[in-house]
Amino acid sequence: MDEIAEWSRAQARVIALMEAATDEQVERTVPATPDWTARDLFAHMVGLGSDVVAGDEPDDHNPDWTAKQVEQRRDRSVSDLVDEWRETAEPLRAWMAEHGTRPLGDVIIHEQDLRGALGVPGGQDTDGLAAIRDRFAPRVGGRLPEGTTLGLVGESWSWASDGGDPEQADVVIAAPDFDLARALLARRSADQLRAWTRSGDVEPVLDAFATLGPLPEDDRHE
């Protein structure tokens, strides 16, 4: 898979999504990033690309860094943000060719966050989403209680933390492929994970899914 091409395809989907959004939609709060509206989240996505190309990227992507991206673009229209992102795209693709495709995660994760806020499903079965899912599954595995194995069973994808049979793991969670991918990104609630548990005691492994912050209190859907 060409992950740079996947980044480009995701960028095109997000641009189309934002250009079609109404003024009311772009001012909606994003459930996955409740301090931001859809416009704010889009500003972060654009600003991240510009900062990476400029060599301004802290290792921890700390809140001050991301907040600055939003504040610097507070008064810019969606059209202005689209123009900036398009201008940044080719330099960012060149950067990824040299340094790696870490920015793919930001656009793939936040595309779905935006879709959840705008109420426009899409992009749920892409190679880019599969790539990010496969990056994060081992992170969840590394956060499990010692001696506990986890199996994830989807419609066409499955995974086991010990590399064995997912159905034989201590805890087995079965859900649609897309929901499992989002769960690995801390985008599904503890109650959703409980509802999808096929066998075992899920309670001790819930914290392992908090890869990008605490699990949401409310159920999430995109």
Rounded distance between C-alpha atoms, residue 197 and residue 96, angstroms: 38
**pLDDT digit string, tens, across residues 141-200:** 999 999 999 999 999 999 999 999 999 999 999 999 999 999 999 999 999 999 999 999
Q: Where residue 66 falls among pLDDT bands split at 50, 70, 90?
A: very high
Q: What is the pLDDT of residue 34?
A: 96
Scanning the structure block, which residue is given the tokens 């994970």? Answer: 193
Cα atoms found within 13 Å of the Cα of residue 156, Cβ hemisphere only: 3
Q: What are phi and psi of 185, to 5 degrees?
A: -105, 15
pTM of structure: 0.95
**Contact predicate 213/25, CB 8 Å:** no
Rounded distance between C-alpha atoms, residue 188 and residue 220, angstroms: 6
Rounded distance between C-alpha atoms, residue 143 and residue 183, angstroms: 14
Given a cut of 90, whether residue 1 has pLDDT beyond it is no
Given a cut of 90, whether residue 206 has pLDDT beyond it is yes
What's the Rg (C-alpha) of the chain? 18
Q: What is the pLDDT of residue 208?
A: 98
Percentage, residues of the chain above pLDDT 90: 97
Given a cut of 90, whether residue 59 has pLDDT beyond it is no
119 CB burial (10 A radius; 0-12, 13-18, 19+): exposed
Q: Where residue 60 falls among pLDDT bands split at 50, 70, 90?
A: confident
Q: Is 172 helix (H, G, I), strand (E, B) or coil?
A: strand
Total Cβ atoms within 10 A of residue 104 = 21
**pLDDT digit string, tens, across residues 13-51:** 999 999 999 999 999 999 999 999 999 999 999 999 999
Rounded distance between C-alpha atoms, residue 53 and residue 134, angstroms: 26
Given a cut of 90, whether residue 95 has pLDDT beyond it is yes
pLDDT, averaged across the chain: 97
Instruction: Domain ranges for the chain, please list them.
Output: 3-118, 133-209
**Contact predicate 84/50, CB 8 Å:** yes
Q: Which CATH architecture has domain 133-209?
A: 2-Layer Sandwich (3.30)
Rounded distance between C-alpha atoms, residue 13 and residue 16, angstroms: 5
